Amino acid sequence: MSKPETNRPNTVTNPIIILLGILLLATAMTYFIQSGSYERDGRIVVPNSYEVIDKEINLESFIRTSKVSGAEAQPISIAQAVMAIPEGLERGSGLIFMVLIIGGLFGILQKAGAIDAGLERLLGVVKGNIYVLIIVLMTVLSAGSTFLGLASEYLLIIPLMVAMADRLGMPRIIGFAIVCISVKAGYLASVTNPLPLTIAQPLLGLQIFSGASVRFIFYLAFLVVGILFLIAMVKKLGISTKEDIQFSSHKLSKRNTLLLSTLVLSIAFLVYASNQWHWKHHALSAYYIAISILLAIMSGLGASNAADAFVDGMKKVLLASFLIGVATAVAVVLEQGKILDTVVYGLMSVVGEGNAYLSVVGMFFSQLMLDFLIPSTSGQAAVSMPILGPIGQLSGVPPQTTVMAFLFGNGITNMLTPTSGTLLAYLATARVSWSEWAKFVLPLWAIYIALAMILLSFSVYFQF
């Protein structure tokens, strides 16, 4: 059962403070890291094209308010760093509004009582066995990620999982972890995930989706480890749901059945539509608005009460949604200071070309570090693959293994990097702080790093 609240002062650092600290660090980096850039063919980096850009640091650098235009390079002032936050909010607006709308949608379902009734029925069927739920749910959710590339689509699932954890008397972070770990386990292997593979594999001369059978084995390894970790964390809580909590086995009312059936069907159609028509944030937000209106009509709350419930749901994720904009501001500062390509060049330079095993580990760790600056999977592929490909050839690392080093590094860091908009959107929807999540998932993060190094070594050994 949940522990009673105490009057002890809150010692947890607010995630806004953490992100503002990262923003200030990125600003400072523009002063002591040289600026430079690669030539690009569209989004794709041209190998061996990095050039240093001269920049002058003077008193004006600290007080400048206007952007530097053209190919010039200047360090970022405090005023420019602050101005990067509104620009970050603008860049991340699609994701921010999507999170707010989903919060409103679940506000309607919560007010109508459909969420509580549906969870009660589900837990009654499995007799509150959280271990069965963890295994089944994580397998299904991770399969959607590894085969179809589902990630932001699962924002609709997170409130359900959090509510389930609450009903079982567990911290909401357990419900959040069911979704987040599943998505990351799926993305790590990306058996047929089109988002990274359609960019990374052609850049190395590979057929798209080739090597899927080996990646499927890797997917199972990450999934099993993730499931065992979460089960161990639940056992650590010492909660006996079968003995302490009784669940209703009564059938759902017709209205609740209609509401929940509509939600399930809307999620199923969303999976189809987002893959068939490649929906982006604007289309997804419009879809969520339409579903919210439909659920409001079905709920029987009346127009005003449904609107109030929608606004109340948005309020619960409003402050956390602001974090997405601040995280995006970090990327704005790095781009304007023209140091992002310099960091990429530095990371790729440490990858050795002599020993295949050492080289693949170097590739992996370079991707781990790079993901803090480029959390976008497709963006990281476009930047790093053209550089890592030739290095892999010189050191004897097979092209498929080079792709795996990229996938592992990108996926593992994205589990906890505070600059990832998708992770922050997940946290905002679940109302879980980043610091709480980082403390929870850090052991699994370390385990996944060790597992990734072992699997990459096997790949080199068997020349995958």
Q: What is the pTM of this model?
A: 0.80
Let me know: does 193 contact 149? Beta carbons within 8 Å: yes
CA distance 431 to 445: 21
Rg (CA), the chain: 23
Residues with Cβ within 8 Å of residue 14, at least 6 apart in sequence: 433
Q: Residue for token digits 């390509």? A: 341
Q: Is the dihedral of CA 370, 373, 377, 378 positive or negative?
A: negative
Q: What is the pLDDT of residue 133?
A: 86
CA distance 22 to 17: 9
DSSP state of 73: B
Token representation of residue 314: 């948005």
First to last CA, the chain: 48
Q: What is the pLDDT of residue 189?
A: 92
Task: Please give the single-letter amino acid code of residue 55.
Answer: K
* DSSP strand pairing (35-37 vs 40-41): unpaired
Let me know: does 408 contact 452? Beta carbons within 8 Å: yes
Let me know: does 300 contact 255? Beta carbons within 8 Å: yes
Let me know: does 367 contact 405? Beta carbons within 8 Å: yes
* Residue 136: count of CB within 10 angstroms of its CB: 11
* Residue 287: count of CB within 10 angstroms of its CB: 18
Q: What is the pLDDT of residue 298?
A: 94
* DSSP strand pairing (51-53 vs 44-45): unpaired
Q: What is the pLDDT of residue 225?
A: 98
CA distance 191 to 212: 5
Residues with Cβ within 8 Å of residue 280, at least 6 apart in sequence: 94
Q: Which residues of 407-435 are buried (b: 16+ CB within 10 A; e: fewer)?
A: bbbbbbbbbbbbbbbbbbbbbbbbbbbbe
CA distance 461 to 450: 17
Residues with Cβ within 8 Å of residue 307, at least 6 apart in sequence: 296
Mean pLDDT, contiguous 10-residue spans, the chain (464 residues): 43 71 90 88 79 82 71 85 91 84 87 81 72 89 86 82 85 93 94 86 88 94 97 81 54 87 87 79 88 94 94 81 82 87 81 80 90 80 85 87 94 88 84 90 96 96 89
